[in-house]
Structure 1
Amino acid sequence: MKTQETVFSLTTLLTDLGQRLFPGIPDETIRYGEALVLALLAIILLLLGLVLLRRPKKKNSASRINIPRALREKGTVIDIMNGPDTNEISLRCVITAVKTNKITCEIIERIGPFTTDKNRKLFCVFAPIKTPKGTVNSFSTTLLKLGHSTRTANLMVLSVPTRYTMNSRRKHARKKVADQQFIRVKLWLEDPIFSDTSYQDAIPQIGVNSFSSENTAHNANGVVNISNGGVGLSITNSLIPNDCGPDSPVVINLFMFNFKEKAFKPYWYAGTIRSLEESRPGFTRMGIEFTATATPDPSTGRLNWANRSEE
């Protein structure tokens, strides 16, 4: 009803305007002109409506970026840990497929022990991605399925994350040791404060890379990774005493190759064993945190120990 009244009012207005501007023109011609004006107005309104309808709707922040799909498209490597409370990387993988309820990943590197229990909570860290709500680099997920056959041994299925966070990296970034010839280790399972051992002349209880004494079992030991805060070692099980466990004190002598001087330089540390985990068959992965450093005293031949300052 209101539309009819509007059209009638507009027609009357146009007729009155036409008679005033062109008093000699017949009423029939004025009505044709009115019809033409109304038709033009209708076309303009129709075009305006089509423009409004075709305008893209604003997407919410969740629909602007699909993080698993973005990680798959970029081929981003993801570090997987057995939960958010550990910094020890177990696996590295890439996402190969993304569906509404699951993510399929391919394992490209097995680094440490990995809990294969179904529905196990895992923590994943990747290179930071910018989103409308901020930068994220991690998410929690659930292990849904792990391949067991030869064909699917490196495949696993994870639940789709519902929340992403920015996880601060470890204080001391660990560097994986690929070439064992440039690092050598002597290890004593002792507390230097209460020990009378002259470490500079003593045979190590555990040796890594060339410090193998007469026991060939030492030759299989290796350095997994190293940082300013500690070192990860792969040790033959037969060399680890039964009373050795987490929180046990150790003394470490590291020999690192200095490429500029083309020589090995010694570094002395006291430390604490933080983890002992089963690794490949016959070996244990030992994680050690450095707690003190030492410098040799030329006059006495002893080591002067000092607690490490916060870096």
Structure 2
Amino acid sequence: MEKISLQFFLDKIDSAIVVPAMKIIKDLPPESMPIILTVAGAIGFLAALIAYLMLRSSSRKRGGGSNYTKNLISDFKDNGIIMDIANPESHENVLARAVITDIKEDRINLEIVDEMGLSQQSEFGQILMMFPPEKTETGSVNNFKTTIISLECKKEGCSRLSASIPYSFSSIIRRRHKRKRVIDQQFIRVKIWLGKPDTDDASFADSIPDLAVNSYDPRSGGHEDNEVINISNGGLAVSTPLILSENKFDTETDVLINIFMFNFRQKIFKPYWYAGKIRTVENIDRKSCRLGVGFTMSGSIRDENEQFIDWTEI
């Protein structure tokens, strides 16, 4: 199909509107000058509007080109963005997490920071690379498909990956639960301990938390620098200074969580117990990082003395 140009539309306007209008204007008396000026203004506005829409459409099409792709990939590399690697047919099953270390003409090189089954993926197979949503002129994107060129693996797992340059980006729904951003920190208090829900004994709640947010526990230093970023039925995200989280939390680390959340109807803080895993550890800047925690089990206090917890898988 032949591409319709801007000049084509201008010629149509000239033949269908301007020429007939000029014939009518010639036959009008001098006192009709206000009408003539109004018609001329309307024609000019219509032509300008069509030109703007054509140029805007052309710009959007250019936005998805190879230069745009390379710019986005370069941003991922420069900012050290951690990306999830999965099978294109099952994006929920994350096989590894990696960062881009180098960009070549025909490939991208990545360092694997967390190997969770990628070594079992057939070499030269297609994979899905997922990243935090990026806004583009044509909408939000959060993934691209690529093909494995080479994969360096040892007994302990894979360490490096080379993949083809992606040609296009798209968006998939990754989250089952809608997140609620926490605006006012005074209505939520969080304590996080390293540990598994392998016992119903709640004595861990009396120990010093490994990370606390607004808990006002005098034994937990630095909690005033932590913040809850968002929370949902599936987990929460916390920002914390690097000095409080370095060498303590890593992806897939088991944690136990106590959340005190203000109930506006009852005008009291209510406790919630969860077991979970650290899903992501991302540096926000050189001083702080973001911990993404996924809930795996919910807990309920069994007795009035709050000594035992019953755990239920989520």
Name the structure where helix makes up a greater proportion of residues. 2
Structure label with greater radius of gyration: 1
